[in-house]
Structure 1
Amino acid sequence: MTKSELKIRAIENGTVIDHITANKALHILKILGLPDKETKNVTVAMNVSSSEIGRKDILKIENRELDHEELNQVALIAPKATINIIRDFKPIKKDKILLPEKITSIIKCTNPKCITNLESEPITPIFKVIQKYPPVVRCHYCEKLIKTEDIDKQFE
């Protein structure tokens, strides 16, 4: 190893999210509520070289396996990411993230007049996925299209 290389330690158990769109790892941490009291070690590599996608981010989350709902949330921010579940230092499951047909509650409708944005109407936002890459969703209630840029702004 040369002086310019940094070795990232393997995790014994947990989740590795790879092939995250460059500079989106912090958005994913925010969605997942990390770091938190239970999750002791979270490793973030940002804007690293990738032969597949040019530049990418990587997240290693020790002692936590993401559930189906969390994976759906990650898919909205990083639709080309891969998930590796690690047990005893070995990857036991590797999957591409799949954006579901419907997204609920993690983003808000950008239409200020949408019923989901009225304080007097506590309604959970629901969006139908119109385009998987780059993600475009449509509000179930007011039918406003929300593009990737608008989604990203909600996590900044």
Structure 2
Amino acid sequence: MMNKSQLQVEAIHNGTVIDHIPAGQGIKILQLFGLAQTHEKITVGLNLPSKALGAKDIIKVENTRLSAAQANQLALFAPQATVNLIEDFEVVEKLQLQLPEKVEGVFSCPNSNCISHNEPVTSKFRVRAVDGQVRFRCRYCEKSFHRDMMAV
């Protein structure tokens, strides 16, 4: 018989655990941070049971530490996520997520008529939460977009 308290995703020795990711956002976060290119051991759990969310994703990356700035970018897709830094199988630090005010050079503007597609400029967006939803406003075309429309 399986122990009910058994972990569904194995513990890591050193690295970062991103937990309480809304179900379906885990893959997008892997892409956004280029975590698959670290060549480190990565454990990903998708659609795991969660009392708070119903279902959640979790990402564990060995020998990789997210900075506070990276954790804040994570808040764009998973504002309720927790980021735990692990050393010797113990949580040594919990990063508090805060939605960044702006994001530069991460996303392309979804507006195909935006000047950022035809000129050598870095994409720039102001970020804000509207009714609990993250919105991006392009500095160049001034159009506003929901986070699901943003492409890495």
Q: Give the TM-score taking structure 2 as reference length.
A: 0.88
Contact 1:79–1:134, Cα closer than 8 Å, also in 2: no
How much identity, in percent, do the aligned residues show? 41
Give the SS at the match of 1:93. Answer: strand
Residue matched to 1:39: 39
Residue matched to 2:120: 122
Q: How does 1:87-126 map to 2 (within 5 A)?
A: 87-118=87-118, 121-126=119-124
1:135 aligns with 2:134: yes
Contact 2:73–2:100, Cα closer than 8 Å, also in 1: no
1:68 aligns with 2:46: no
Which blocks of at least 5 consecutive residues in structure 2 are unaligned? none
Q: Give the TM-score taking structure 1 as reference length.
A: 0.86
Structure 2: how far apart are the matches of 1:55 and 1:139?
Answer: 32
Post-superposition CA distance 1:37-79 (Å, at most 9, x none): x432100001111111111100000000012343233222212
Post-superposition CA distance 1:82-120 (Å, at most 9, x none): 1000011110111332111111111111111211111xx
Q: How well do the aligned residues superpose, as a CA RMSD in angstroms? A: 2.1
Residue matched to 1:84: 84
State how many pairs are aligned: 150
Structure 2: how far apart are the matches of 1:148 and 1:54?
Answer: 21
Contact 1:84–1:95, Cα closer than 8 Å, also in 2: yes
Contact 1:42–1:59, Cα closer than 8 Å, also in 2: yes
Which blocks of at least 5 consecutive residues in structure 1 are unaligned? none
